[in-house]
Structure 1
Amino acid sequence: MTLTIADRLLHWYDQHRRQLPWRGDPDPYAVWVSEIMLQQTRVDTVIPYYDRWLAQFPAIADLAAASLEDVLKLWEGLGYYSRARNLHQAAQQVVRDFGGQLPNNLQDLRTLSGVGRYTAGAIASICFDLDEPTLDGNIRRVLSRLFDVVEPLGSSQGDRILWELARTHLPSGRAGDYNQAWMDLGATICTPRNPQCELCPLRSDCQAYGLGIQSDRPVPKPRKQIPQRSAVAAIILSGSKVLLTKRQEKGLLGGLWEFPCCYVDENFTGDSLQDASRREGANLPKFLHQFLLTEFSTEFGSEFATAFAKEFPVETYVPNLFGTYKHAYTHFRVTLHAYLFPFKESSEKLGKHPCLDWVAIAELSNYPMGKLARQMAQKLAKA
């Protein structure tokens, strides 16, 4: 009897499957958390985060009841923070709409925040034994090589072909193992670089291997030039405290705390300020200074803006450079210059605001931050 691709894949998987914390007797909540964490993140990076997550939020109800700030703090360092916000929101949906139990069908799973076709298929097949395919980066790569898919990754035509291939070879009754077998094959043998084709159970079927073009598959999506941006941040000190602002919950780094910051090439405070900064040769400290005065006046009230303007006159005060930091986000790279503004007056006189907080330098580690803000906080704590 001729063995199918699925037969040989599953035979290999039964012998070589990876031992991962969320496998074994799969708990739907644990699998869901792992699948979200694994998006664009390596397994060895995810495991300690996964363990800490399940220790702090052992059930969906625990996650739903947590504050977003606690959720983001636990996620800190894993990146792509919208994943954490979506997990938190979806947990609240599950408690509200599904009695605290993750739904066991594809349609309802897809209604949850942050759960798309891939994640829904993984949960449905692994946890509920539904005959549903899924596609992650590993599976896309293996299928692209196995069937010599020439359409670029991420293209609508390429996605359509890969989903059809994943479903065509799916064996009834073992969809969960089948999906995880593709994942493991891609993670351990059919790797992005230097695939170990001699160890692959599907080598005889692999069209790319037969043509000697496995290194050319999958065909990458055409790369766009990644823009380089400039940003400025203010380290505003008052005794042993420093000023933090909280970002809006939606968008890049949503809900995280940071030092007051703005992008030089983005119109935060009006065309006149942006144009003036450019005319002055991008005088970053002055640009930051003017931004802060405008931002504090419009967002946090005149009391703070007045105190800031008195302490740091824009005409005469030249802030010292605290440090320069670089980071690459998904769609752009940024170089950030941070400057010092040490208040002489007590910060207690400056009022309070939900998105503004004077934080003891020794307590900065308690606040969820992005990578750049965390680097600045760590340097400040050591100073």
Structure 2
Amino acid sequence: MTPSSPHLPAVRAALLAWFDRSGRALPWRVGPEGRRDPYRVWVSEVLLQQTQVVRGQVYFERFMTAFPTVQALAAAPIEAVLKAWEGCGYYARARNLHRAAGKVVGEGLPTTYEGWLALPGVGPYTAAAVVSLTLGEARAVNDGNVRRVLARLHGEKQPTDPWVQARADDLLDPERPGAFNEAVMDLGATVCTPKVPKCPDCPVSLWCAAFQSGQPAAYPAPKVRSAVREMRAVALLLGDAREAVLERREGTLLGGLMGLPTEVVDEGETPDQALARLVTRLGARVTGELGTVTHTMTHRHVTLTVFTGVGGPGRSQVADEPLPRLDHKALELWTRREASLFGTH
């Protein structure tokens, strides 16, 4: 049995009853159903686009402590926003959130799906989530959890985005759209998991084609992932983990963050050649090699060799600046070396 039109009311009822019993208690789920605080919901949805819920709760509380209102966020310098976002990754989200906050303070919070969609960094998923949770508007969300749940219910191995959206629109409970959206996402996150789904605990297994097939984890078929590009770079630590020469990053990925002076090792050149270019640019001198760290981000696997040196521009207080995870890893090399040296004396 699959969730055809006559079965939709039963599937909705079973899923909502399960959610009422088992839904996760999360810090952004505050306030009456369908009338949640739009600022808290908005921040949480942006944060969770690329961050798992367990880690996201910590980041969310930290961000809300720093900027408890949209007015506080809009008034803050972008450097402070990026610092509060530190560790979350995908920093364009923070920059767009800051830009959008300025627009909201000037024009007011949007009251329609189209109004939310017009804000910087807000796409169809975020707009649908916000209006369903804060305005009670019947908009179905479409994310990875929703895709997996619906693909399994219908026995679809290759669900396209339009297919998922159409199935989500059909299944959405128009009386409780916010709760229903959260129910599907919670089901995907806690029961209908990617590799080992907990089918005996599932409230809608009676209608699930993937469960009936005996191979629920085969649905949907794995997405073809983009190849990860290998990238080598060298960095120069002028100072220590507390005070160091830092440079502002450019580009969409890490733009606005600070980091150790770095040069990419271009194709056909050696790390020593890139290091020489870096030293010349900074007016510094290398004193030793600290070690190598690696980090993967957005289809790039970066291998960074870190050197120590003297000279160069003025230093900054590291703790005051927003740094990407790669640079924290680089600074940890210095911290570990100092701890090792201290422990030997």
Q: What is the TM-score when the length of structure 1 is the normalising length?
A: 0.80
Per-residue CA deviations over 1:329-377 (Å, capped at 9, x if unaligned) read: 121101111112212xxx6xx6xxxxxx522xxx312211011211223
Q: Which amino acid counterpart does residue 45 of structure 1 have in structure 2?
A: R
The equivalent of 1:257 in structure 2 is 258
Cα distance change, pair 130–379 in 1 and its aligned pair in 2 (3 A):
same
Retained in 2: the 8 A contact 1:230–1:263? Answer: yes
Structure 2 spans left out of the alignment, 5+ residues: 1-5, 339-345
The equivalent of 1:268 in structure 2 is none
| 1:57-136 alignment, distance < 5 Å | 57-96=67-106, 98-99=107-108, 102-136=109-143
Corresponding residue pairs, total: 326
The equivalent of 2:343 in structure 1 is none
Shift in Å at residue 89 of structure 1?
A: 1.1
2:6 maps to 1:19:
no
- Equivalent in 207, 211, 225 of residue 209 of structure 2: 207
- Equivalent in 256, 274, 293 of residue 325 of structure 1: 293
Retained in 2: the 8 A contact 1:285–1:339? Answer: no
CA distance in 2, matches of 1:39, 1:224: 19
The equivalent of 2:39 in structure 1 is 29
Structure 1 spans left out of the alignment, 5+ residues: 153-157, 266-273, 297-304, 313-317, 351-356
The equivalent of 2:174 in structure 1 is 172
| 1:284-363 alignment, distance < 5 Å | 284-293=271-280, 296=281, 308=283, 312=285, 319-343=287-311, 357-359=314-316, 363=317
The equivalent of 1:367 in structure 2 is 321
Retained in 1: the 8 A contact 2:191–2:198? Answer: yes
2:151 maps to 1:183:
no
Shift in Å at residue 148 of structure 1?
A: 1.5
CA distance in 2, matches of 1:128, 1:292: 56
Residue 328 of structure 1 aligns to a residue whose secondary structure is strand
Structural RMSD (CA): 2.0
Retained in 2: the 8 A contact 1:130–1:173? Answer: no
Q: Which stretch of the first structure deviates more once superposed, 112-121 or 365-374?
A: 365-374
Shift in Å at residue 319 of structure 1?
A: 4.7
Cα distance change, pair 208–283 in 1 and its aligned pair in 2 (3 A):
same
CA distance in 2, matches of 1:106, 1:286: 53
The equivalent of 1:271 in structure 2 is none
Per-residue CA deviations over 1:62-114 (Å, capped at 9, x if unaligned) read: 00011111111111111111111111111111112x23xx2120111001111
Retained in 2: the 8 A contact 1:145–1:207? Answer: yes
Retained in 2: the 8 A contact 1:76–1:369? Answer: yes
Q: Which amino acid counterpart does residue 108 of structure 1 have in structure 2?
A: G
Retained in 1: the 8 A contact 2:243–2:318? Answer: no
CA distance in 2, matches of 1:76, 1:179: 29
Q: Which amino acid counterpart does residue 16 of structure 1 have in structure 2?
A: S
Q: Percent identity?
A: 38
CA distance in 1, matches of 2:289, 2:62: 37
Retained in 2: the 8 A contact 1:364–1:377? Answer: no
CA distance in 2, matches of 1:23, 1:61: 21
Shift in Å at residue 34 of structure 1?
A: 0.8
Residue 135 of structure 1 aligns to a residue whose secondary structure is coil
- Larger Cα Rg: Structure 1 or Structure 2? 1
2:331 maps to 1:377:
yes
Retained in 1: the 8 A contact 2:191–2:197? Answer: yes
CA distance in 1, matches of 2:95, 2:279: 28
CA distance in 2, matches of 1:285, 1:260: 15
